[in-house]
Chains A and B, each alone.
Chain A
Amino acid sequence: MKVKLWGVRGSIPTTGPDTEKYGGNTSCASVAYDDHVLVLDGGTGIRQCGASVSQYKRIDILLTHLHLDHIQGLGFFMPLFDPSKEIHIWGPASSSQSLFSRISRYLSPPLFPVLLRDVPCKLELHEVSNTEFEIGPFKIRSSYIIHPGPTVGYRIMRKDFVFTYIPDHEPALGKHGMVHDPKWVSGYDLAEGADIMLHDSQYTTEEYAIRRGWGHSSINDAGLFASITSAKHTLFAHHDPGHSDGFLEEMLASFKSGSNVSVALAKEGFEIDLA
């Protein structure tokens, strides 16, 4: 099961030398095994991902939610425009509008010239909530998590290997932060014992104090979440667009000095084979 990160920046893409090392594309990752591939989120990273998955006849795109930094690249994912491709888009159900209707808000004029219903590929949409489903060799669990608007995280399992993907998440939302009891921790079921977890760590503790309720985590809360869930290795992601490479490394060094959780900064282009 090969996991590759195509975009790990949060909120808005960044360019320039200050963010070159960890990358400026917004959320996207891929998980591949044999002749099956999952694409996680459609941020701007999905554009480059599109070229790398051209050999697959079927591609499944799993969206965590529909904030712009997670769908902005969809219209530039070339397999959507290839009539020989079968594309399945999975995303969180809302209590009011269909997934098709909500994605179409972006993939329609005046924001985008091509209507979602007019893309040439064979397109199928699936709504998920607290759901377990299978795609090829992957067993997948989706669960709603704390983030504004309908938002899910994904736990992707193949045999004994688990990759958990929760790029936008605020489990510490509340008067006293995260409750130190797994039953009361948003996303626990997704992350428990994961081999690799990608998790939101957008803010410093000081930044989080003035951005509470925006749907993201401080690096310390992300570390606490990793500790509570016993994730084996955590990739801190959804880097704030205002954080330079140097600043991210300072954040990580500061975190590591007070914790023994296995962590690293998520980096665009990072690839790992979970066997």
Chain B
Amino acid sequence: MAAHEIEIILNRQLADCLSIPVFITDVVGNLIFYNEPAEEILGKRFEDTGEMSVEEWSTEFKPLDNDGNSMDPQELPLVKTLSEQLPHHKSFQIINLRGEKQPISVTSYPIISRAGNFLGAVAIFWKRKLK
């Protein structure tokens, strides 16, 4: 069995220590790890789901812009990071598990290895208060 590269392993270990939701994906967006605070957003436990394909987990979120209109997935920071291998940040809303609008900010960054290879991406979800 091939192990993940240490840059991915260290990102998981860091995420495991944080109180903010963190999602880690591979290069195509498959969800390879999410931490406990992220379990609250997904409504699923990583121990139960294991890795999730991009098709599977992308449907868990309904992104809306700040006016409540549906967003083009291509505008999402993580999607942009995966396609451009660059960091992105954006504030928008998601419909949470209870069907409520939750304003959030998402920061995403690419994991570029010491050897310069693109290994995946990290998305950090920050909860916002409605103004």
Q: Give A contacts to B, CB under 8 Å.
A: 93-95, 129-130, 143-146, 150, 173-176, 179, 182-189, 192
Contacts and interface: CB of A to CB of B under 8 A. Distances in A.
B65 interface: no
Contacts of A94: 114
22 contacts: A93-B114, A95-B114, A95-B116, A130-B5, A130-B115, A143-B6, A144-B5, A144-B6, A146-B9, A150-B114, A173-B10, A173-B13, A174-B13, A174-B17, A179-B9, A179-B12, A184-B4, A185-B3, A185-B9, A186-B9, A187-B3, A188-B3
A182 B3 CA distance: 6
Interface in B81-131: 113-116
Contact of B3 (A150, A173, A189): A189
Contacts of B39: none
Nearest to A184: B9
A272 B12 CA distance: 38
Contacts of A150: 114
B58 to A, nearest CB: 22
Interface in B22-71: none
A169 to B, nearest CB: 10
Contacts of A146: 6, 9-10
Contacts of A183: 1-4
Contacts of A173: 10, 13
A144 to B, nearest CB: 5
B2 to A, nearest CB: 6
B3 A145 contact: no
B120 to A, nearest CB: 13
B2 A189 contact: yes
Contacts of A188: 1, 3
Contacts of A93: 114-115
Contacts of B10: 146, 173
A129 B115 contact: yes
A175 B17 contact: yes
Contact of A174 (B2, B16, B116): B16
A46 to B, nearest CB: 26
Nearest to A185: B3
Contacts of A174: 12-13, 16-17
